[in-house]
Structure 1
Amino acid sequence: MKDRATVVCVRDNRILLVARERSRWALPGGRICRDETPNEAALRELSEETTLAPIELTYLFQFTGFNTLHHVFFADVAHHARVQPSNEIAKCRWFVPVKIATLSASIPTREIVELFFRYIRTLESDNVHRISQQAERVSL
């Protein structure tokens, strides 16, 4: 099984996808080199493919594809940062999440985006729950 660093970038509620010439849309990322950590690979691939340098990179989860183990990261990028296709990438675009289901995109890309939003909703509901518990303690 191949190890891959996969990066989710979100700006204005849109997800960044990349594509090679005459290829499907995918999340930025690529193979992890022999002497490289998943984090280092995610930073390298994001920079190589989009010219973006994240402010912060956060490890989210692993996703097992057909023959690839994706180490999925969230990249916090500056709002003003310009994205530009680079290296083997021909196109970079920001898509609303519901549009991704209609694109010619890889199955792992679709599933990772879905898992990402499920993960975010879980975090948000946990935070709301914690805040409401704290508010109850304060009011007692």
Structure 2
Amino acid sequence: MKKRATVICRKGKRILLVARESKWALPGGILKRGEHLSDAALRELKEETRIAGKSAKYLFDFKSKQKHHHVFYCDIPERAKPRPSNEISKCRWVQPEDIARLLTSTPTNNIVKLVGQKRKSSRGK
């Protein structure tokens, strides 16, 4: 199973998605040999959106059928404007509740739901 660094970026309540061809997904990708997970998260964010993240905070692991996602929250500059690069065709800020109506990868939908659940449970403490 391939290890993947998957990135959650927020602007207010919106989450950043990227599109490869027609499917929306969270930014991220496969680790390079010997690369640290958090370094991979920041590298992939920059490669795909041209945004230099300030830091990458580990959130949780999520296993899909083909990949082991190591999910990170990345702080980004307030005025950062994502621009597609590399294999990405589009970038978009999306309300979490709108993601279910988009054509996304199954892991993207599940990871966004988990992030929302974890945020709610941490506020209740």
Query: Normalization by structure 2: what TM-score?
Result: 0.96
Runs of 4 or more above 4 Å deviation:
none
Q: What is the distance in 1 between the residues matched to 2:64 and 2:37?
A: 16
Aligned to 1:14: 14
Q: CA deviation at 1:79?
A: 1.5
> What SS class does the counterpart of residue 25 from structure 2 fall into?
coil
Bigger helix share: 1
Contact 2:42 2:55 in 1 (8 A): no
Residue aligned with 1:52, SS: coil
Q: Distance in 1 between matches of 2:123 and 2:46?
A: 29
* Unaligned residue ranges in structure 2 (runs of 5+): none
Between Structure 1 and Structure 2, the one with more strand by share is 2
Sequence identity (%) = 50
- Which one has a bigger Cα radius of gyration? 1
Gaps of 5+ in 1: 127-140
CA distance in 2, matches of 1:42, 1:86: 16
1:98 is matched with which residue? Answer: 97
Within 5 A, what are the aligned runs for 1:1-140?
A: 1-21=1-21, 23-126=22-125
Question: TM-score, normalising length from structure 1?
Answer: 0.86
- Partners of 1:32 and 1:124 lie apart in 2 by 32
RMSD: 0.8
Shift of 1:61: 0.2
